[in-house]
């Protein structure tokens, strides 16, 4: 269902290829969306090869199984050099594992859609209900000048709370998926996912 909603939402604006195991769902998706639909297992090398994943700008794994999503994203990244992998995480405890492996792990279909489209604007805060874990917010924070406490520091040295994940840094026309060694610079716009309870703390750390 998640994949179907994303395909319907994105296929009007982007070239979308859907990999689906269930043949009946494949038929329904093929008639309901403009996406190309392939019947197969996204964890299988040959299936991703058939889908021409090497041409993808973004690979999104949104099944209900975290293990499958992790394997599929890692396969896309390591075997097909996809620059960006986004995954649905059903168990929030797994988010840290995904993020450490360079996969943007989010526990919300809506947030995944926003990350792919990169539609968030400066100052926007989107608050979402995430399963039974409470609320998450996706926020964008400007780093205004050199006096900011985060300016000149590497991400790993910011002291971010566990409930906060930096998703991307917008620097001029460049969008950077940050790792621990990326240094925050004046003029950056930082997009982060955080628990609502830690939102104020995150903004204080960054600004």
Burial 168-201 (b: 16+ CB within 10 A, else e): bbbbeeeeeebeeebebbeebbbbbbbbeebbeb
Could you tell me the residue range of the domain that residue 162 belongs to?
Answer: 125-206
Collapsed DSSP state (helix, strand, coil) of residue 133: coil
Q: Which residues contact 110 (CB under 8 A, 6 or more apart)?
A: 126, 128
pTM for the full predicted model: 0.53
Helix (H, G, I), strand (E, B) or coil at 57: coil
Q: Into how many domains does the chain fold?
A: 2
The radius of gyration computed from the CA coordinates of the chain, to the nearest angstrom, equals 18
What is the per-residue pLDDT for 1? 60
Of the residues 91, 117, 143, which one is the last residue of a structural domain?
117
Domain-terminating residue out of 98, 117, 136:
117
Residue ending a domain, among 58, 87, 117, is 117
CATH number at residue 131: 3.30.70.1450
Which has the minimum average pLDDT: 13-17, 75-79, 193-197?
193-197
Task: Please say whether the beta carbons of 107 and 90 come within 8 A.
Answer: yes
pLDDT digits (tens, 9 = 90+) for 71-118: 999 999 999 999 999 998 887 778 888 888 888 887 654 455 555 555
Highest mean pLDDT: which range of 70-74, 154-158, 172-176: 70-74
């Amino acid at each position: 269902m998640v994949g179907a909603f994303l395909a319907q939402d994105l296929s009007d604006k982007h070239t979308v290829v859907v990999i689906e195991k269930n043949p009946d769902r494949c038929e329904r998706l093929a008639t309901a969306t403009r996406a190309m639909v392939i019947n197969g297992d996204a964890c299988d090398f040959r299936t991703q090869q058939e889908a021409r994943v090497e041409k993808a700008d973004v690979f999104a794994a949104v099944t209900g199984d975290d293990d499958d999503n992790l394997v599929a994203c890692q396969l896309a990244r390591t075997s097909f050099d996809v620059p960006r992998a986004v995954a649905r995480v059903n168990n929030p405890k797994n988010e840290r594992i995904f993020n450490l492996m360079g996969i943007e792990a989010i526990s919300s279909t809506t947030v995944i859609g926003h990350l792919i489209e990169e539609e968030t604007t400066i100052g926007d805060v989107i608050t979402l209900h995430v399963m039974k874990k409470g609320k998450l917010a996706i926020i964008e924070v400007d780093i205004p000048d050199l006096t900011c406490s985060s300016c000149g520091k590497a991400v790993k040295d910011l002291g971010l709370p566990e409930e906060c994940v930096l998703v991307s840094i917008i620097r001029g026309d460049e969008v950077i998926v940050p790792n621990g060694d990326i240094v925050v610079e004046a003029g950056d716009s930082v997009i982060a996912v955080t628990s609502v309870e830690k939102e104020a703390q995150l903004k204080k750390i960054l600004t």
